[in-house]
């Protein structure tokens, strides 16, 4: 068991950090006791707003010696309880480490503190003619959080995920030691990639206090095609054909009419087209000629495969009318029900249609509403199980059964528990089932090597 | 119902640059789009056509490159487009522009309804629609957020007038300037684009010679009542104040600021 924070511990923390950046007990707002979705809730005993690597180092060294758990929190936009202090202890909030430190135009890197928001970083580099491609839906997440969950997003089809853009990290280990992993180099074949272990480790191995991220030149132009299909089957069956053709899409998203209608209600704004049951949204970027050639080919493929039409989303106003709705899907579904939980499963692209059909079977069988949308281009689905009129107890039972069936089916298809939201607290048991004891045991070994006293975000990813 | 929609090609960027020497708007020919406010007028027209039958024709004034904006309207579903292009029409202010457009519409035969966007994103005057109605001798309403046909000759419109909402029944023909609240414009269709590209484009071009009044002094720079002394971009300021403290302290400070600025 862990030690509680004592008055002596608090006095020590106050000797390290100005009191104005420390909150205790009732001073801590309820926001810091939960994240956006998982239902995991617990208050930290102390909340510290850190501002430097040195502060993080001093706190970790002390917490490690005193065996006090430490949870790192960015903007708290996670969906699986990763940033919830389930064992109390100290919460380090990185929101004040929100400075972009350098844009290196020769090496095409941007160096940033972890508390910078994704939308701030994206706007900063774009203003200077560069592009940070990872594009998770939650733009108010911090970069530190994005790295810690290996966040993906819509542009993964063409550009990959956060992992592909992390060149270097400054990491504070639980001992207080500060290590530099990777750097500005493009290649790295120098021993085990600790950098890649840190990415997606959800605050369980070390605390990221600085990141060197890869950027690329800003594409000249970008255009989307909104493609209506009579049925979801026809829409999803077209996706592998699009992926296999030389059209180089940036994103291939799918959504159904009912999800658009939730977004219309939520935003009080009409979507440009709601006449079809199923939609694919394709995005292209690059030089204008290349984009035109690619969208023409893509539209032709869609039409050959049963699409009703293909609509151009080409001006800032049109992009706003479509992407505002797409960006609001999660919140819109959330506001359509009393409570919900999410399955962020990822399956091979060829099995998306089968998997979605299976969720419809589960919905009918368990008599529960399961809307979904997601990244058809990379097989990552966002499936929401809605409580609606069920009692908490009834819903809990339905939820467990639905999750169990979905994760089992995903495993059968060669899929995995999480595509981009992480495991955190909520999905630990599903991960253990999916990966099996050998892999979980290796993960435990890695955890032990970084954090022998298990003070960093304990009980996350797998049971401690 | 036979509807004419007035549309305009504007710079694609909302950040319109002004030549500091000449004060002329820098228009990058390659980078243009349909004036966003015109999309609402066009959507309103297409919706009315679906309900009532009839035709939707679009009209624009500009260089030959402005055909692109007519094509975009065709891909959204307009039946045909007319480009008014003539060097003698260049340099027109709102008065000369309104006169030109109204002269062109007079050549278009039977028209029940003329729709305009509320304003353009490059000129921002919001005057052309109303001035056209004067030249055409038609009733006109601005900021229209709904149009409902009552019978063959009458429509009912709801117009947003700041603190007042006006509902009016108007005899056709008339001219309406639509508000952005009226609808969500449809997107241009690949299917229509292919169809149009495979046949003869329903586009035509007219010049001053087609108008009843052929006096060049009534058009373009010569027909403009406005003498522009200077055009300059507005100062963009990011002045801001940071209010900090506890919630209670900050709230008191916000209240002070609002009172000082006479917002309360």
- Inspect the interface and report whether the beta carbons of B189 and A309 lie closer than 8 Å: yes
Helix axes B67-76, B190-198, angle to 10 degrees: 120
One domain, residues A140 and A186? yes
List chain A residues with CB under 8 Å of B39: 317
Task: Answer yes or no: is A205 within a domain.
Answer: yes
C-beta separation of B17 from B151 below 8 A = no
What is the domain range of residue A176? 100-217
| Alpha helices by DSSP H, B4-141 | 36-52, 67-76, 94-106, 128-136
Q: Is the pLDDT reported for residue B65 higher than 70?
A: yes
B72 to chain A: closest CA residue:
A312
pLDDT tens for residues B95-127?
999 999 999 999 999 999 999 999 998 888 889
Domain count, chain B: 1
Kindly tell me if the per-residue pLDDT of B16 is higher than 70.
no
| pLDDT at residue number A464 | 84
Contacts of A314 in chain B (CB under 8 A): 33, 188
pLDDT band at B263 (very low <50, low <70, confident <90, very high): confident
Contacts of A321 in chain B (CB under 8 A): 184-185
pLDDT reported for residue B24? 65
Domain count, chain A: 4
Q: Is residue B225 part of a domain?
A: no
Per-residue model confidence as pLDDT tens digits over A342-382:
999 999 988 998 999 999 999 999 999 999 998 998 899 99
User: How close is the nearest chain B Cα to the Cα of A201, in Å?
Assistant: 35
Q: Which residues of B touch A223 (CB under 8 A)?
A: none
CA distance A322 to chain B (A): 10
Residue A32 lies in a domain: yes
Answer yes or no: do A164 and A240 share one domain: no
CB contacts of A281 in chain B (<8 Å) are none
pLDDT at B12 over 90: no
pLDDT band of B27, cuts 50, 70, 90: low
Residue ending a domain, choose from A217, A239, A256: A217
Residue carrying the six token digits 């309207």? B73
Domain boundary among A190, A217, A244: A217
| Beta-bridge partners for A369 | A386
A33 within a domain of the structure (yes/no):
yes
The answer to whether residue A99 neighbours chain B at the CB level (below 8 Å) is: no
Domain-terminating residue out of A95, A115, A149: A95
Q: Are residues A105 and A70 in the same domain?
A: no
Distance CA B225, CA A415 (A): 70
The answer to whether position A358 is within a domain reads: yes
Using one digit for the tens of pLDDT, what is the confidence trace for A125-175? 999 999 999 999 899 999 999 999 999 999 999 999 999 999 999 999 999
In a domain, B230, yes or no: no
Contact A143, A77 (CB under 8 A): no
Whether residues A253 and A203 share a domain: the answer is no
Per residue in A4-38, pLDDT (tens digit) is: 999 999 999 999 999 999 999 999 999 999 999 87
Q: Is A395 left (phi over 0), alpha (psi -120 to 50) or beta?
A: alpha
Whether residue B26 has pLDDT greater than 70: no
B259 located within any domain: no
Question: Are residues A148 and A66 part of one domain?
Answer: no
**What pLDDT, in 10s, does the model give residues A181-213?**
999 999 889 999 999 999 999 999 999 999 999
Q: Say what the pLDDT of residue B121 is.
A: 87
Residues of A in contact with B187 (CB under 8 A): 226, 272-273, 311-313, 318, 322
pLDDT 10s digits, A382-398: 999 999 999 999 999 99
CA distance linking residue B239 with residue B234, whole number of Å: 15
Residue A368 is assigned to a structural domain of this protein: yes
A161 in contact with B at a CB cutoff of 8 Å? Answer: no
Smallest Cβ distance to A317: which of B36, B186, B191?
B36
Contact assignment for A272 to B33 by CB distance below 8 Å? no
**CB-neighbour burial class of residue A217 (10 A; exposed 0-12, middle 13-18, buried 19+):** exposed
pLDDT of residue B11: 84
Query: Given this model, what pLDDT does residue B14 score?
Result: 63
Task: Residue B126: count other Cβ atoms within 10 Å of its Cβ.
Answer: 17
Tell me if A270 and B183 make a contact (CB, 8 A cut-off): yes
In a domain, B125, yes or no: yes
pLDDT at B25 over 70: no
Quote the CA–CA distance of A217 and A179 in Å, as a whole number. 30
Residues A364, A280 within the same domain: no
Sheet containing A251-256: order of strands: A311-313, A221-229, A278-286, A251-256, A372-375, A380-386, A340-343
Asked if the structure places residue B200 within a domain, the reply is yes
Give one DSSP letter per residue of B104-153, joined into a string.
HHHTS---SEEEEES--TTT----HHHHHHHHHT--EEEEEEEEEEEETT
Could you tell me the two tokens for B263? 């917002």
**Which run of H or of E encompasses A407?**
helix A392-412
What ipTM score was computed for the predicted complex, to two decimals? Answer: 0.84
Residue B15 clears pLDDT 70, i.e. is over it = no
Residues of B in contact with A271 (CB under 8 A): 184
Identify whether the C-beta of residue B158 lies closer than 8 Å to the C-beta of residue B146: yes
Contact A269 B184 (CB under 8 A): yes
Q: From the CA of B97, how many Å to the nearest CA of chain A?
A: 26
Residue B179's domain spans which residues? 2-218
- Domain annotation covers residue B193: yes
Cross-strand pairs, A230: none
- Which DSSP category does B222 fall into? T
Specify the CATH number for the domain of residue A269: 3.30.70.2190
Instruction: Indicate yes or no: CB of B188 within 8 angstroms of CB of A314.
Output: yes
Same domain? A129 vs A76: no
Q: Give a yes or no: residue A259 inside a domain.
A: yes
Dist. CA A211–CA A171, nearest whole Å: 9
Residue with tokens 């009733």: B139
Q: Report the pLDDT value the prediction gives residue B244, as an integer from 0 to 100.
A: 83
10 Å Cβ neighbour count for A126? 13
- List A residues 253-272 in contact with B (Cβ-Cβ < 8 A): 269-272
CATH classification at residue A404: 3.30.70.2740
* Residues shown for chain A: 464
Query: Which CATH number does the domain housing residue B71 bear?
Result: 3.40.50.620
Residue A2, in any domain of the structure: no
Locate the DSSP E strands across A332-441.
340-343, 372-375, 380-386
Interface probe with A: pick from B118, B120, B187, most Cβ of A within 10 Å: B187
Q: Does A282 touch chain B (CB under 8 A)?
A: no
């Amino acid at each position: 068991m862990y030690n509680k924070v004592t008055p002596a511990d608090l006095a020590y923390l106050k000797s390290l950090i100005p009191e104005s950046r420390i909150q205790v007990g009732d001073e801590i707002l309820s926001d810091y006791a939960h994240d956006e979705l998982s239902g995991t809730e617990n208050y930290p005993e102390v909340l510290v707003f850190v501002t430097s690597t040195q502060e993080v180092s001093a706190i970790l060294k002390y917490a490690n010696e005193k065996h006090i758990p430490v949870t790192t929190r960015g903007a708290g936009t996670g969906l699986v309880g990763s940033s919830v202090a389930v064992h109390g202890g100290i919460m380090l909030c990185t929101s004040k480490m929100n400075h972009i430190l350098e844009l290196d135009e020769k090496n095409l890197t941007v160096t940033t503190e972890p508390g910078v928001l994704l939308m701030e970083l994206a706007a900063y580099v774009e203003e200077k003619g560069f592009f940070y491609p990872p594009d998770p839906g939650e733009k108010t997440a911090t970069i530190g959080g994005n790295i810690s969950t290996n966040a993906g997003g819509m542009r993964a089809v063409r550009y990959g995920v956060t992992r592909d853009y992390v060149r270097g990290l400054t990491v504070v280990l639980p001992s207080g030691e500060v290590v530099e992993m990777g750097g500005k180099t493009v290649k790295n074949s120098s021993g085990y990639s600790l950098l890649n272990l840190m990415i997606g480790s959800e605050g369980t191995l070390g605390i990221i206090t600085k990141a060197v991220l890869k950027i690329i030149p800003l594409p000249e132009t970008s255009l989307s095609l909104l493609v209506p299909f009579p049925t979801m089957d026809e829409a999803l069956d077209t996706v592998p054909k699009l992926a296999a053709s030389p059209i180089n899409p940036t994103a291939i998203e799918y959504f159904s009419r009912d999800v658009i209608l939730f977004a219309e209600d939520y935003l009080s704004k009409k979507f440009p087209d709601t006449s079809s049951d199923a939609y694919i949204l394709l995005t292209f970027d690059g030089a204008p000629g290349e984009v035109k050639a690619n969208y023409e080919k893509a539209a032709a493929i869609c039409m050959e495969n049963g699409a009703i039409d293909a609509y151009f989303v080409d001006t800032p106003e049109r992009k706003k009318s479509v992407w505002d709705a797409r960006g609001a899907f999660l919140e819109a579904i959330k506001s359509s029900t009393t409570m919900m939980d999410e399955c962020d499963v990822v399956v091979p692209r060829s099995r998306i249609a089968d998997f979605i059909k299976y969720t419809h079977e589960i919905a009918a069988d368990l008599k529960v509403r399961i809307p979904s949308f997601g990244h058809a281009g990379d097989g990552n689905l966002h499936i929401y199980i809605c409580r609606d009129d069920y009692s908490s107890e009834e819903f809990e039972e339905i939820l467990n059964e639905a999750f169990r069936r979905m994760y089992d089916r995903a495993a059968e298809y060669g899929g995995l528990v999480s595509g981009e939201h992480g495991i955190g607290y909520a999905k630990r048991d599903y991960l253990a089932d999916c990966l099996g004891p050998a892999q979980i045991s290796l993960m435990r070994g890695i955890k032990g090597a970084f954090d022998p006293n298990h003070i960093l975000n304990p009980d996350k990813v797998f049971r401690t | 119902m036979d509807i004419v929609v007035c549309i305009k090609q504007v710079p694609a960027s909302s950040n319109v640059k002004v030549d500091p020497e000449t004060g002329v708007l820098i228009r990058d020919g390659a980078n243009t789009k349909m004036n966003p406010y015109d999309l609402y007028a066009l959507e309103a027209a297409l919706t009315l056509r679906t309900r009532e039958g009839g035709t939707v024709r679009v009209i624009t004034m500009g260089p030959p490159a402005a055909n692109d904006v007519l094509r975009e309207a065709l891909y959204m579903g307009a039946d045909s487009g007319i480009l008014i292009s003539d060097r003698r029409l260049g340099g027109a202010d709102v008065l000369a522009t309104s006169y030109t457009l109204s002269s062109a519409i007079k050549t278009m035969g039977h028209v029940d309804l003329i729709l305009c966007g509320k304003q353009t994103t490059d000129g921002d005057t919001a005057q052309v629609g109303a001035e056209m109605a004067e030249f055409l001798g038609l009733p006109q309403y601005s900021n229209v957020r709904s149009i409902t046909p009552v019978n063959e000759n009458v429509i009912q419109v709801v117009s947003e007038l700041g603190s007042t909402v006006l509902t009016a029944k108007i005899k056709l023909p008339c001219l309406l300037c639509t508000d952005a609240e009226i609808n969500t414009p449809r997107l241009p269709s690949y299917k229509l684009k292919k169809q149009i590209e495979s046949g003869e484009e329903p586009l035509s071009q007219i010049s001053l010679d087609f108008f009843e009044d052929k006096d060049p002094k009534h058009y373009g720079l010569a027909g403009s009542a406005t003498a522009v002394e200077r055009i300059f971009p507005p100062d963009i300021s990011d002045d801001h104040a940071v209010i900090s403290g506890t919630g209670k302290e900050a709230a008191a400070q916000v209240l002070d600021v609002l009172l000082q600025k006479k917002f309360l």
